[in-house]
Amino acid sequence: MTAIDVRGAAKVFNPGRSNQVEALSEIDLSVESGEFITLIGPSGCGKSTLLRLIASLISPSAGSVYVNAKPAEQARLDRDYGMAFQAAGLFDWRTVAKNIELPLELMGWSRGDRRRRSAEMLDLVKLGEFAKHHPSELSGGMQQRVAIARALAFSPSLLLMDEPFGALDEMTREHMQDELLRIWEETGTTVVFVTHSIPEAVYLSTRVVVMSPRPGRIAATIGVDLGNRSAATRDDTAFFKKVTEVRVALRSVEG
């Protein structure tokens, strides 16, 4: 099943004004259900804009965006996706469990169902013993795990992630990459992930989508077949070759 289908999508901000910005042009992207796709490209190339088009947080100026075979706006209304950003965005006056329960509360779940689901999600991200803690009592990596648990609490088929590990130190970032892959494999959720890190893109993805400078276009799509990822993957020759392939593609679009 096709999870995402973008055809001829473009985005122009402030059209017709002196501060008009053509962010995206002629974007064609198809993502199959269960894939892990990474968007990478120069700063300002429209990676986050494309993610927001898929999420129907903004509308395309041209073209179409479909999620699960329906318009992106309908998919948003149907709660087909969860989102995670660079900032975890947790509410410090709510406990970890209550933060995870928040979208379920807004959706009208009963208190008992919210508690059961929150406990399940905390087990998924291996933070069960921190249910009654507050976000300020957690490390940055733990806060991001809570944010991922919250994004997945209502079982969306699609997870959209905008540089969620960008502010973490290198060792925590690698650990979070492994945790995300584990969660992806356990849930079968389709993931679209924005990053500036070439090694991160290669390590996580089934495909890396390389974007050109603004107006952003898809310049290359690079398949990644490294099997099950582990610490050994990062030292494997095949991994370094794929990193080089993505780096060459990025250099070619940057001129």
111: left (phi over 0), alpha (psi -120 to 50) or beta: alpha
In this structure, the answer to whether residues 121 and 196 fall within a common structural domain is: no
Name the pTM for this structure.
Answer: 0.91
- Total number of domains in the chain: 2
Predicted confidence (pLDDT) per residue in 96-117, tens digit: 999 999 999 999 999 999 999 9
**CATH code, domain carrying 61:** 3.40.50.300
Residue 192 corresponds to which amino acid? V
Total residue length of the chain: 255
Same domain membership, residue 214 and residue 109: no
> What single-letter amino acid sits at 2?
T
Q: For residue 109, what are the domain limits?
A: 88-155
pLDDT at residue 254 tops 80: no
Does residue 168 surpass a pLDDT of 90? no
Helices (H), 91-236: 96-106, 111-124, 140-152, 170-187, 198-204
DSSP assignment of 78-102: TT-EEEEESS----TTS-HHHHHHH
Look at residue 16 in the predicted model and tell me its pLDDT.
86
Please tell me whether residues 55 and 166 are part of one structural domain.
Answer: yes
Strand ranges of the sheet holding 21-32, from the earlier edge strand across to the other edge: 21-32, 2-13, 62-67, 70-71
Query: Over 80: is that where the pLDDT of 255 sits?
Result: no
Question: Rounded to whole angstroms, how far apart are CA atoms 176 and 237?
Answer: 23
